[in-house]
Chain A
Amino acid sequence: MSMIFTPTRRTFIKSAAALAGATALGGLGAGAAAAAGLTVGFIYVGPKDDFGYNQAHAEGAAAVKAMDGVTVIEEENVPETVDCQKTMESMINFDGATLLFPTSFGYFDPHILEVAAKQPDVRFQHAGGMWNADKHPKNVGSYFGYIGMGQYLNGIAAAHATKTRKIGFVAAKPIPQVLLNINSFLLGARSVDPEITCQVIFTGEWSLAVKEAEATNALADQGVDVITCHVDGPKVVIETAAGRGAFVCGYHADQTSLAPEKYLTGAEWNWAKVYTDMVKTTLDGGTIDNFVRGGLADGFIKMSPLGPAVPEAGRKQFEAVKAEILKGGFAAIKGPLKDNGGKVIAEAGQSFVETDVALESMDYLVEGVIGSLS
């Protein structure tokens, strides 16, 4: 479709690029196949092998790359500024991408929204963004997973490992997704032992190695003995915490190899399934839903294998709760529950199941979490 209407100059550059690519590959076949199939672009805010957020997405992209008739193009270290608009434009105009995954949270507003308005034939899929049918273009979609459930399970493993009954969380920014993770981590732990508290430290940025290490040390100084995090690359937190003798729960991707003895479990994304599904829908001529969500049961998230430090009782409870979550309709946030300022979040009997959209505008830390939002 779009091929017919593209201006001459663009087509020229495109075919020149295809020709150059084919020559480089040493065969015309590869170039021709790429031009005929679907080109999918992935944009990352950091390096795609960061043991974290970007690696999780890049593993999804790698699964897409293995599909027939699909060409994958990727660009990493693209800041959440007008730079990501330039990257999107160039992927569309020069590489002929018609399906884009700009994966970082801050790409959505205004960058994706602006480019999407100019490129109605291109589909934009954004992780975590709040797509709204009334406000946003139809060629934009948002998808996310209920990874808070993974942090809830992390909390259960943490509760069985902690001796001091103090667990800790190194967080980047107080946005709803992060707050849900912190709250879920504590509530998971409190489902085992209601005396447990969770100390949170915000670093203010997605990736600040020294500050993350300082935050981890500050937690360890306080006697916190299980630490998890929500930053882009958990490598520094995991290594520093394990170095201080604390147990760790992972996030985004599997970090077992960084601290095999101290790693309890971890909440991981499973973007490979999500992305291959979406690309398959597109290849079959269908349209991806604008608002896609899924949890453990849908294969959107998965848990790292339990580490050697989780005791038998912990393993049993972990598996039991996981089975319950897999049935669907599980609620971590349920009454009676107050926030850490004493305000009532949920009355007795009231609950927010994992699929509740209200959770995506969370602006509180629950009772038992030590920390504040600003």
Chain B
Amino acid sequence: MSETDLGVWTVLIAMLGGAIRVSTPYIFVSLGECLTERSGRINLGLEGTLVFGAMSGYAIAYETGSAWAGVLAAALAGTLFGLFHGWVCKLPKVNDIAIGIALMLLGMGLAFFFGKPYIQPVAPDLPTIALGAWSSSPQVEAALRINVLFVVGIALAFFIAWMLRSTRIGLVIRVVGDSADAARAMGISVDRVRLLATAAGGALAGIGGAYLSLYYPGSWNEGVSSGQGLMAVALVIFARWSPVNCIWAALLFGAAGALGPALQSVGVSSGYYLSYAAPYVLTLILLIATSSTTRAVRGAPGELSITK
């Protein structure tokens, strides 16, 4: 095997590993946002929920000694943020985007405030499944060390897709998201559906945060998120509001994020600022390639304030 072969393989394995490691928070936040947006509301505050989830998950995991208790606490905290967003947006003349931005800043501020004492201690990590145990190569082994939450996230995406397509609850969410008038005519309480959808979205974003602080990178500090929550909201549009597409979008972003360090590690070291911009360039290219001048954004819920 020549040296370039090895380099290419290393980069590919690193990107696979990166996709699996980095994508989980994207998956959870974008699934949560997908659910919320399918009910006709946008919650831009998920970055704040993510950071608060990371903090509360880490804090509770440290206090109780159980990483799963941390995940539960993060989900609970996320639910509260979601409920708050849903409740405020129910009031007349409230803009969901503005509230989302306010909640994002609030969530981060609260997380920084309460998270102070938890920067130093070391909390337990979430368990992993060693899918790469068959391989003799430590690189492959490391890349295929899969966290339980990653598996849960993928299963959840298929579950949500099935739920939206084939169940009554899914139908209700879709009706509310596509036409509030039709939903009211059917006797559905639009506000309650949106409240619950936003709360569920918040819970998922909270779990995404717990993954950040409890598994990868695996510690709580104030710079733990670096904008994953915001990117995930964009991913939903990129995934055209399809939960299954959210997985692919998240994996793509994870892999593209691993490209920069992997290239540097095999000696392609010049222009690393450019390779770090790869995920964003990729998004632009894909969005432009799949856009159309003749029709509206396909798959967009009719009630969304950005598409209305």
Contact = CB atoms under 8 A, between A and B. Distances in A.
Contacts of A201: 261, 264-265
A199 B261 CA distance: 11
Contact of A213 (B119, B143, B218, B269): B218
B276 interface: yes
Interface in A80-129: none
B266 A222 contact: yes
Instruction: Place the interface of chain A in its size category.
Output: 35 or more
A372 B266 CA distance: 12
A221 B269 contact: no
Contacts of B119: 47, 49-51
Contacts of A244: 142
A240 B222 contact: no
A204 B275 CA distance: 11
Interface in B65-104: none
Interface in A43-81: 46-47, 49-51, 77
Interface string B199-230: 00000000000001000111101111110100
Contacts of A204: 272-273, 276
A374 B116 CA distance: 35
Contact of A221 (B14, B116, B120, B224): B14
Nearest to B268: A372
A51 B220 CA distance: 12
Nearest to A222: B265
A276 interface: no
Nearest to B54: A209
B18 interface: yes
Contact of A209 (B120, B226, B269, B270): B226
Given A49-B120, A218-B14, A244-B142, A213 B216 contact: yes
Contact of B226 (A50, A211, A220, A370): A211
In this complex, the member of A49, A221, A235, A374 whose beta carbon has the largest number of chain B beta carbons within 10 angstroms is A221
For chain B, what secondary structure do more than half of its interface residues adopt (helix, strand, loop), or is it mixed? Answer: helix
Interface string A331-374: 00000000000000000000000000000000000000011101
Given A211-B260, A214-B18, A239 B222 contact: no
Contact of B261 (A49, A209, A214, A372): A214
A240 B223 CA distance: 16
A50 B17 contact: no
Given A46-B222, A218-B265, A374 B270 contact: yes
A260 to B, nearest CB: 11
Given A50-B119, A204-B272, 17 more contacts: A46-B223, A201-B261, A208-B226, A211-B260, A211-B276, A215-B261, A221-B10, A221-B262, A221-B265, A233-B221, A236-B219, A239-B122, A243-B218, A370-B269, A372-B269, A374-B272, A374-B273
Interface of B: 10, 13-14, 17-18, 21-22, 112, 116, 119-120, 122, 138-139, 142-143, 212, 216-219, 221-226, 228, 257-258, 260-262, 264-267, 269-273, 276
6 contacts: A49-B120, A210-B228, A213-B21, A217-B18, A217-B142, A221-B14
Interface of A: 46-47, 49-51, 77, 199-204, 207-215, 217-222, 233, 235-236, 239-240, 243-244, 257-258, 370-372, 374
